[in-house]
Amino acid sequence: MTELLKVQALTKSYQQKGYWLNRKRITVLDSVSFTIEAHKTLAIIGETGSGKSTLARLLVGAEPASSGNIYLNGQELKSGSYKHRCQHIRMIFQDSGTTLNPSLTIQELLDEPLKLNTPFNEKKRTELIRMTLQKVGLLGDHMNFYPHMFSGGQKQRISLARAIILQPQVVILDEALASLDPSLRSQMINLLLDLQQQMGLAYILISHNLGIIRHFSDEIMVLSQGKVIECGNTQEIMTKPQHKTTQKLMLNQSFQLRVKNRYKS
Amino acid sequence: MARDKIYLEEIFPSPFMQLWLIFRSTPVAMVGFSCFIFLIILAIFGPVLAPHSAIEGQLNMPLLPPAWHDDGNVSYLLGTDELGRDMLSRLMYGTSLTFGLSFIVVIISLVVGVLIGSLSALTSGVKASFLNHFLDVILSIPSLLLAIIIVAILGPGISNTVWAVVMVLIPQFVHITRYAVKEEFRKDYVLASRLDGAGPFRILSYSILPNIVDRIMSQATLAQSAAILDIATLGFLGLGAQIPLPEWGATLANGLDLFYIAPWTVYLPGLAILFAVVATNLVGEGIRHALKMRKER
Amino acid sequence: MNLLDIRNLSIELISNGKNIIAVDKVSLSMKEGEVRGLVGESGSGKSLLAQAIVAVLDDKWHVHADRFHWRGIDLLRLSMPERKAILSRDIAMIFQEPMACLDPTTTVGEQLAEAIDSSQLSGFFWQKQQQRRKAVIKLLHKVGIKDHSVCIKSYPHQLTEALCQRVMIAIALARRPILLIADEPTAAMENTNQGQIFRLLSSLNQLKNMAILLISHDLENITHWTNTITVMYSGQFVEAGTTEQIFSKAMHPYTQALVDSSPMANQHLPAKSRLMTLPGSIPILQHLPIGCRLGPRCPRAQQDCVKAPSVSNFHGHKVSCHFPLLLSPKAKKSKLQKAKSQKLSKVSND
């Protein structure tokens, strides 16, 4: 499988706000490198403050990296060039309450990326919006509704529609499934798996829930304080974690799992 | 594209429509709103509708009491002042001066304040601080005193009153806009919009402004009641509208000498000012209440 | 003796002439020292139920029940102030986002000192200050905060979420309650912190014999810590039983779907295969289905499901379904007999 996304030595540091003479330089990400292929999912785990969200923002282009390169299909992505990047890498946010603009209808919401990045006329755009809404499991008529009329699960679907409407190749899920109820979470996972098959997407999943990660991802990358401490196949890392931090993370989940096995048998 | 209604009994309102529906169901706010609309119509059409001239008086009918008194005359419904000018016509002309001008004052200061506030929110660092705070010195002086100072510099006259009150009201809008815009920037949909490739002005007009309009509107009603009082006070002090303009404050000051023989020349303009301020405040309260109710839903 | 005995509790919302039944005939009972889990997704009415037990609902909600006993006292016959007095003495509640539930303008030490009941202190009033301080330190030690001096002087925003939750538990313990209701205490936390809080609750349960009602939307999270579980869906009672019965021998299709959606049950599924889910989504309050509210989504729904099902009891495992799963032939026969006897009694009543 050819590499879809390649990240090399990505670093992000900034100066702490404080007195002019007393500012420290904080390194949030320290030389992170990894690769992703199409149809595959990479999960990134780590405790809070380990730089996961920063990595997501760097990849999608919300902030410029201090150093390092990102290559998409062999081409280097420069920071600040949203128009090129947004067609290939998209992101879904966590808090479904603030991720949709409350004063726009769904049609206007989904129209915006199309208007800014594609040369289609209005009829074609409406057609595309209707098709995308149906793909994520909503009705085409939903495009006249406002965001406050939808439930949390439906809002995440609309977020997903906004992410895939430009036919990207990489979708970043920044804790997108954390706030959903378990049954809605399963529905969303099924939907994501279907889309991955149909469109050949690569996912980057940032999550705390190891059960979902075990089911959904092919590879895991463990971050701690900005550095990659472990990276490899899901099965291997979950059963035989090498580093101490990874072991601590796995232990917490497996403790609950092991005891539950008692009930299953 | 036509709206397809799936469930006929439900309507799907936008957030602004929601605000209007809640506003409409509060009776007190609707009373204030209808008085407000009445005043606006009077301000625009007052000079046309007034029965007599407000400036030239009939010198042979001075100090007629209002029509419900024994000596009153029905053709001068609210009586006349010492120069024989009809009080009703004077009040109607005065609406377009006091109330109408306060409306214009609020709109000008709103536009300027929102512009400066948004610029200040889009930038950061020293530039933003400067934009945010350079008008704060105006906030530290009481608004009336500042208006008096400005009129003392520029000279009396109603157009200078307008500039004075505009200057006084701008800083409030700057602060409110800046904090509202900064708060909106933290939300995820603005980031999503930015990532789609939208320029800063497009973000401002599509993503941010529709969501802060309600807060700015409620601040505008507060500013308007302050503006009405300021213009009337300046007129009362003789610094604003000059003779013979029938501005409410000036009319009140005029009638003050004759209070014991012709009290209606004092209390009628006073009631008019009270009416305008109460109507504006009721509308403002209604908007704030509707905002709170909409958030709770 | 049952600590809490609630039978057929309903909570209605009357607005604009419409009567919305948010919680529909739910029964709950708790024994002393028991840890019961109350599981339901959003919209299931579990928080409403907890608030109704502690009697803190607004006037716009109407609560009625067939039976509402607390330690043998019938609460329905008492007036509201008397009911509140008894409940606030014996029941304590902790909530979801602890940092938002603590007063941000006073230090943690002051809030804890405020929560301590003056009847527990004795002596002259200058001695009471000293005793209050000592009691605060003791409470903090009880919840596992060793260095109390830093904690007492800090404000809530200076502490982490897990520490704030411990402080909330300490405040709840100050009045020595008999029942602690935990309304999604760990929803905003990571896995490691969740484990700590649950361990703390479990130790409190064992040491002080304090009953705990653990409310959560995640079934697998709490199965390790609870003795019994009650499942609710969209305001209706679905199933109740011991943890093992619920998890391994679920009788209601909804419980089965919940168990299937937990990642633990999916361990044997191959990676990246489709998960078993119920189609559709949770109904909103304005459009509740009649009868069994799972009807539109249930794979086993039939015509009988437009009538609300009654609760059947199989050796302590209560389920509310017309067509439960895993019904053994003996249980089926007893169910049929019960239905027949109910029909006869209805006929004789008319």
- Nearest by CB: A102 against B15, B196, B206: B15
Say if residue A162 is exposed, middle or buried (CB neighbours under 10 Å; 0-12, 13-18, 19+). Answer: buried
Residues of C in contact with A214 (CB under 8 A): 263, 267, 271
Chain C residues within an 8 Å CB radius of A255: 195
Tell whether B207 is within 8 A of chain A (Cβ): yes
| C-alpha separations of C289 from A35, B152, C149, C217, C309 in Å | 49, 72, 55, 21, 13
- Angle, helices B143-154 vs B209-236, to 10°: value is 70
| Residue C259 in this model has a pLDDT that exceeds 90 | no
Give the pLDDT of residue C339: 58
Domain limits, chain B: 15-296
Q: From CA C43, how far away is CA C167, in angstroms rounded?
A: 28
Q: Give A145 to chain B, closest Cα distance, Å.
A: 7
Contact present, A88 and A168 (Cβ < 8 Å): yes
Quick check: helix, strand or coil at residue A190? helix
Which residues of chain A lie closer than 8 angstroms to C257, CB-CB?
183
What integer is the mean pLDDT of B56-67?
Answer: 75
Q: How far apart are CA B256 and CA B264, in angstroms?
A: 10
Chain C interface, mutation test: which of A47, A260, A261, A265, most C Cβ atoms within 10 Å?
A260
Q: Are C203 and C35 in contact (CB under 8 A)?
A: no
Q: What is the CATH number of the domain that holds A115?
A: 3.40.50.300
Domain boundaries, chain C: 2-105+155-268+277-349
- How do strand C211-216 and strand C35-39 relate by DSSP bridges? parallel
User: Using CB atoms, which residue from B192, B206, B207 is nearest to A162?
Assistant: B192
User: Nearest 5 degrees, angle CA C142-CA C143-CA C144?
Assistant: 90
| Cβ–Cβ below 8 Å for A82 and B207 | no
| Four-CA torsion A143, A148, A152, A153, nearest 10 degrees | -10
**Given 3-state DSSP classes, what are the helix, strand and coil percentages for chain B, each rounded to the nearest 5?**
70, 0, 30
Does the structure show a pLDDT above 50 at A236? yes
Poorest-confidence range of A27-31, A137-141, C122-126, C289-293? Answer: C122-126
Mean pLDDT, residues B267-275 taken together: 90
- pLDDT of res. C330: 55
Query: Which of B82-96, B131-145, C317-331 bottoms out in mean pLDDT, i.e. has the lowest?
Result: C317-331
Least confident of A63-77, B4-18, B100-114, B198-212: B4-18
Q: Please say if the pLDDT value at position A256 is more than 60.
A: no
Q: What average pLDDT does chain C have?
A: 83
CA dist B34 and B31 (Å) reads 5
CB contact under 8 A, A101 and B207: yes
Higher per-residue confidence, C326 vs C335? C326
For residues A210-224, average pLDDT:
84
Maximum average pLDDT range among B118-132, B198-212, C99-113, C324-338:
C99-113
Least reliable range by pLDDT among A178-182, A231-235, B37-41, B71-75: B71-75
Q: Is the pLDDT of residue B280 over 90?
A: yes
Q: For residue C337, what pLDDT band results from cuts at 50, 70 and 90?
A: low
A246 close to A230: Cβ distance less than 8 angstroms? yes
Q: Looking at residue B26, what is its pLDDT?
A: 87
- Tokens 């009150």 locate to B165
Tokens coding C263: 């990642």
For residue B258, pLDDT over 90 is answered with no
pLDDT of residue A259 exceeding 60: no
Q: Is the peptide bond before B244 cis (omega within 30 degrees of 0)?
A: yes
Mean of the pLDDT values across residues B214-224? Answer: 89
| DSSP 8-state secondary structure symbol assigned to residue B86 | B
The DSSP code for C269 is S
Q: pLDDT tens-digit profile of A69-86?
A: 888 887 777 766 677 777
Band (C347; pLDDT cuts 50, 70, 90): low
CA distance A151 to chain C (A): 9
Match 């430009």 to its residue by tokens: A166
Reading the block at residue C279, the tokens are 């189609």
Partner residue facing B188 (CB), from A93, A104, A107: A93
| pLDDT at site B107 | 93
Q: What's the pLDDT at C309?
A: 83
Q: Considering only A10-24, A227-241, C224-238, C311-325, which range has the smallest mean pLDDT?
A: A10-24
> What is d(CA A102, CA A146) in angstroms, rounded to the nearest whole number?
7
Please list the residues that pair with A232 across neighbouring strands: A220
Query: How far is it, in rounded angstroms, from Cα B282 to Cα B85?
Result: 32
pLDDT given at position B4: 43
β-strands A67-72, A75-76 pairing: antiparallel
Query: What pLDDT, on a 0 to 100 scale, did the predictor assign at position A244?
Result: 81
Mean pLDDT lowest for which of A230-244, B211-225, C116-130? Answer: C116-130
Q: What is the pLDDT of residue B133?
A: 78
At residue C115, the pLDDT reads: 86
- pLDDT, tens only, A144-176: 888 888 887 888 889 888 888 888 888 999 888
Question: Is C191's Cβ below 8 Å from some Cβ in A?
Answer: yes
Domain hosting A165: range is: 3-264
What secondary structure letter does DSSP report for A115? H
- Single out the residue of B96, B57, B86 nearest to residue B265, CA to CA: B86
pLDDT of residue C325: 80
pLDDT of residue C203 exceeding 60, the answer is yes
Q: How confident is the model at residue A260 (pLDDT cuts 50, 70, 90)?
A: very low
C-alpha torsion sign, points C103, C104, C106, C109: positive
The DSSP secondary structure of B210-262, one letter per residue, reads HHHHHHHHHHHHHHHHHHHHHHHHHHHTTSSSPTT---HHHHHHHHGGGTTT-
Structure tokens at A201: 């997407």
Instruction: Report the share of chain A in percent with pLDDT over 70.
Output: 90
Give B12 to chain A, closest Cα distance, Å: 7
| Greater model confidence, B282 or A260 | B282
The answer to whether the Cα torsion of C275, C279, C280, C285 is positive or negative is: negative
Q: How far apart are CA A109 and CA B206, in angstroms?
A: 10
CB atoms within 10 A of CB C18: 9
Say whether pLDDT at B276 is over 90: yes
The pLDDT, as a whole number, for residue B279 is 93
Rg of chain A over Cα atoms, rounded to whole angstroms, equals 20
User: Torsion angle of alpha carbons C122, C127, C129, C135, nearest 10°?
Assistant: -50
Tell me the average pLDDT across A39-54. 83
- Scanning B160-199 for CB atoms below 8 A from A yields 187-189, 191-198
CATH topology of domain B15-296: MetI-like fold (1.10.3720)
Select the residue from A103, A115, A171 to test the B interface by mutation, using most B Cβ atoms within 10 A: A103
DSSP one-letter code for A23:
P
Query: What is the C-alpha to C-alpha distance for residues C330 and C59, in angstroms, rounded to an integer?
Result: 47
Q: Are the C-beta atoms of residues B61 and B76 closer than 8 Å to each other?
A: yes
Phi/psi region, residue B257 (left: phi>0; alpha: psi -120 to 50; beta: rest), is: alpha
What is the C-alpha to C-alpha distance for residues A89 and A113, in angstroms, rounded to an integer? 13
How many domains does chain A divide into?
A: 1
Give the pLDDT mean for B76-101. 83
pLDDT value of position A264: 43
Mean of pLDDT values over B114-129 = 82
Contact across the interface for C277 and A209, Cβ inside 8 Å: no
Query: For C2-105+155-268+277-349, which CATH superfamily applies?
Result: P-loop containing nucleotide triphosphate hydrolases (3.40.50.300)
In chain A, residues with a C-beta closer than 8 Å to the C-beta of C260 are 186
Q: Tell me which of C326 and B89 has the higher pLDDT.
A: B89
Percent with pLDDT over 90 in chain C: 10
**Chain B partners within 8 Å of A162 (Cβ):** 192
Q: What angle do CA A140, A141, A145 make, to 5 degrees?
A: 120
